[in-house]
Structure formats: structure tokens, C-alpha cells
Amino acid sequence: MSKYHSTLSRREFLKALGLGGAGIGAAALGASALPVLNKPVHDLDEIVSSSLAIPNRPSYVKEVEKPTIEVDWTLMNRFDYSNVMWAAGLQKALGSTQFDLVTKAQQGNRILRLKQNKPGYTLRDDAFVNAYYRATSTYLPPTTSSTPDDLGVPRYEGTPEENARMIRAFLRFHGAAEVGFVELDTDTTEKLVYAYDTGSGAAQGPKITIADVDQPSETKNERILPKKARWVIIYTIRMADEFMRRAPTPLVVAPTNLRYDLKSIIQGELQSFLRGLGYMGLGEASSANALGSKVGWAIMAGLGEHSRAMHLITPNYGLRQGLFAVITDLPLAPGKPVDFGVMRFCRVCKKCSDICPAKAINGETEPSWQNNGDYQQTGIKSWHRIEPRCLTYIREAGYSQGCILCFAVCPLSKGKRETIYQDLIRRTIATTPTFDRAIRKMDDFLSYGQRSDPETFWDLDLPPFGWE
Amino acid sequence: MLFILGLVVGAALLGLVLWLQRKEIAVRWYEWLVGALGFMMLVWTVNDYFGSTAEHNETAAHIFLWLLGTPAIILLGLAVFLPWLRLSRSAKAAAGKGDVKSH
């Protein structure tokens, strides 16, 4: 499996020869200019050698040896997911009495706004946001696909580089935007696997034990992760731009729900694919977040950089994506962290912090090692958010999640990249930090992040999934 | 898009050069430079105006129209005005010499 047959199209061949002029005639024929997915796919080799298998990274993104966020791995311990704000973190931070008041306010304000028929909070908005449906997400893979043993054939074998291309092509075909890989190392990236996985509601989930065993297994209280499953597949699913412009109304929850809906399907497909090849695919056993720190793995895989908002910023989509992961024993060529100026820019910009209605985003210029509570991981030098303020604001607005103003206003999260200006500022941020302050001011001047009337959403002619 | 734009620009440039040769109008190198800069800014203006409009950033679209479009028009105007000024001056000078000879 080390060599693939050629899938070079006539257009690519002419381009490679530098015979662009001959392309005029070829273009008239039309068929050769179609992108890969519009052509019939004959076999896996064709997908692996297609453009789907190549990271779609702009030229100004540079690979670096260490991530741009400082990490002290010796200070880091595997994290108990029940401590995060979205699990039991808010209750722990506020105390039971205050938490109960917030919960009552959440339901009360939801009904109040529905009765007021406030744009963005109307019954149809509310119904839209709550219209989600998810497949079951499991740690152990679904058993619907045949294994090589079932078929009496040897399992798939490829080099780590070939495998990485294959998985990237597979995931992008199934809807992922960006795909990266991390090799688990006991002293570093393995610490990003949760000590206790996501549980039901605020309850502590099963313990994740990394053990020298041949096969993964799980009980109600424990999930066994074999030591030989050394590779993390980390992938992103986009969030539609148009919703960001309607932040902080509940409408913005729709792309969040959609990415989790899609993840529940994509994860099952990936797990089945790995099973079909003869490898294990250990997934997130929750319809939401589970298994490990996805932002940490995405940074180590080179999908993007850490930001002031404490989310991942990717070169192509800024903050507008969700992150998901599967752990496997299929050897995969790991990526390297990248630098395209985000951490430098965040020091100066501070737009998310300025705009945050809950004042939850840290506005200090320099990041700090000091975290704000048990709900945050230790060992990273970041702008730690005051997360109880964030979630309390969202809950008091009447919803379980939402807001996303920080996503909406970030200068690196704007637009569909149809303007030269948007590309120019990204190149400038990556190469010339002197202009960072001017870029922030220009972002304000151009009124980027200006909010749209929530009601206009219903008249939009959106592409599938709202992905422009 | 860029390919079609390249074809149109190439054809227009060829037409311009042929027209200038037929009319025997000499254009200095810096006038070409000013014209090229003006044209590039015009392309930028048009692209970012329509791009921002497509992204529903109407305010940004209008700002781009004024911020980039104004210097683009000024530069293109200069690229036309400078050769015209030179030609009209040399025509006047030639007419002046003719008057002297007739005396």
C-alpha cells in the first residue's frame, strides 16, 4: 500500500507542465475542471491522493517546534471533566443557593421573552434552537461494519503518512473542515486525556484508565484505554457565519447544536471505518464533549493557535468551529504546532474582552499561569476566563448555552474571506505584528461584527448547513 | 475568476498599446506605473465592495468603496491626464513655433 496509482486530471497535468494556455481549450470542455467530489470516485487510492487528503493551510502559517501558548507539562494533571463549567463547575462555583436562583431565572426569562415575542427570542427561534437530534456517541465503536477478521483477510497496513492522508480524506468527505493528528506521549499529550470522562449531567463520569492491555473495554465506572492506542485524530466541524451576526440571541445555539448532531454521525462513521480496516476507534461517549482536551490536542496537531477567548483559532475559520476527537491504534503521522500570529495579536486586540457582556474574558495584556478555579486546567499560560460569569450570563438570558459574542467579534473570525482585505490582514498578523493595533482599529472602523436583525435570518437563502 | 480577469486585462492592455501606437502617443514609464497602481486599486475596490456586500457587511462595503475607490479614480485620472497635458503643451508649443515662422 505504499504506492498509489495516478489520479492526476488532465487539468492538473497541464498545470504541472506549465501549459496554462492549453487550459483555455480544456476549460471549454468543462469536465476536467470539476472538483474531485463532482467526479466519480473509483477507489480509496483516488481519495487518498486527492486534494481532500491535503491540509488546507494558507502559506503564511508556519510550523513551529513548540506551541505559541506556553505549556508547563510538569504542572499539568489529567483533568476531571465534571469540574468544567458545563458539567458541575457552575454549581461548585456559585454554591447551591445561588445556582438554584440562576436555574429558576433561566426558565423564567425564557418564558418571559417568549411571551414578549422579542426578535431572536420568539417561539419559532426557540423551537429552531431546540430542534436537534443526535445519534448515540460511544466510546467503543459501533459493531455494524465487518472487520478484516470477519472477512478472513489481513488488516489494512500503510505508513503513518499514508494513514494520515487517508483519515483526513475520509473525514473531510464526511463533513469535517480540518483534520489533524497527535501522538500521545506519557509526559505531555497523554495528560490531555481526561482522568474522569463526561458523566450524566453534573455527575462524575467513568474513570479513564490507560492500561497495557490488548483491547479497550468499558464498565459503568471505568473506561480502559489501551496503551497501544497512541494516536489522536482531531477534527473540526464548522459553524455557520450568519448566526454569529445574530449573537447573543439564542439563534446562535443552532450551529453549536448542529455541529454536535453532525459529530455524533461522523464519529460513528469514523469508528466504523477504523473497525473495517482492523483498528480500534475510541470515541467521545457523549453527544457533547468527552474523552480529552480537544483545544490542547488541536494546538499540538497544528490545526490552529490558542486565543484570548480560550478557544482554538484556525487560519481558515477563526473561532467558528467545534472540535472532536477519536483515539486509535492506527499509526498516524503527527502534525506540528503552528504560528500565524494569533497569540501576539490577542495581546493587543482584546476585542472579545472589551465586548463580553459578562466581563468574563480576561483583559490583561500578558497571559498568566494562574487559573481561576478547579474548572480550569493547570500548566498553561493563558488569559484565563472567569467562566462562572460567562455561563451565568447565558443561563440568566434564558438558555443553557449561547451568547458567542466573542466568536462574533473576533477580527480573525470574520466573513467568508471573499475580500482581499481579509486575506491581507491575516497575512499581516502572521508576519508583521507592528500593525496589530491598527488592524483592531480598522476592524472597529469597518463595523465588522455589526449585529444583524435576528428576524432577517428567516429570509436568508443559506447554503447547506449555513456553511458559506 | 482571476483567469477571466487576466484575459480581459490582457486584451484591454493590448488594445490600449495598439491604439497609442496608431495615434503616436508616447506614454512615460511613470505614467504606466501610476495607471497600473490605479487599476490594481480599482480591482481591489470592486472585489472588496462586492465581497463585503456578499458577506452582508454593508458598512464595510461602502467604506471600501470610498477608501479604496477614491485613490483608484485619482490615480487612473492622473494616468490619463499626464500624457494629455504633455501632448496639449507640445501641441501648443508647436503651434507657437509655427506662428513665429509665419512672422
CA A427, A430, A435, A437 torsion: positive or negative? positive
Give domain status of residue A207, yes or no. Answer: yes
State residue A41's pLDDT score: 59
Taking a contact as any Cβ pair under 8 Å apart, which residues of chain B between 46 and 85 contact chain A? 47-48, 50-52, 54-57, 59-60, 63-64
pLDDT band at B1 (very low <50, low <70, confident <90, very high): low
pLDDT average, residue stretch A340-356:
97
Give contacts of A242 with chain B, Cβ < 8 Å: 56
Is a pLDDT exceeding 80 seen at residue A13? no
Whole-angstrom Cα distance, residue A415 to residue A407? 12
Is a pLDDT exceeding 70 seen at residue A6? no
Give contacts of A420 with chain B, Cβ < 8 Å: 44, 47-48, 51
Whole-angstrom Cα distance, residue B31 to residue A428? 29
State residue A235's pLDDT score: 98
pLDDT average, residue stretch A175-180:
96
pLDDT average, residue stretch A282-302:
95
Question: Quick check: A396 and A109 in contact, CB under 8 A?
Answer: yes
Give domain status of residue A45, yes or no. Answer: no
Is a pLDDT exceeding 50 seen at residue A12? no
ipTM score: 0.80
pLDDT band at A214 (very low <50, low <70, confident <90, very high): very high
In A, minimum Cα distance to B4 occurs at: A24
Give domain status of residue A222, yes or no. Answer: yes
pLDDT average, residue stretch A191-214:
93
Whole-angstrom Cα distance, residue A302 to residue A334? 9
pLDDT average, residue stretch A139-145:
94
pLDDT average, residue stretch B18-47:
92
Note if the pTM is more than 0.90.
no
pLDDT average, residue stretch A162-185:
97
Is a pLDDT exceeding 70 seen at residue A184? yes
Over the stretch A20-52, which tens digit does the pLDDT of each residue have? 444 433 333 333 333 444 455 566 666 666 767
Does the bond joining A337 to the residue before it have cis omega, within 30 degrees of 0? no
State residue A403's pLDDT score: 87
Give domain status of residue A32, yes or no. Answer: no
Optimal mutation site among B49, B57, B66, interface A, most CBs of chain A within 10 A: B57
pLDDT average, residue stretch A255-266:
94
pLDDT average, residue stretch A379-406:
90
Number of domains in chain A: 1
Domain span holding position A381:
56-466
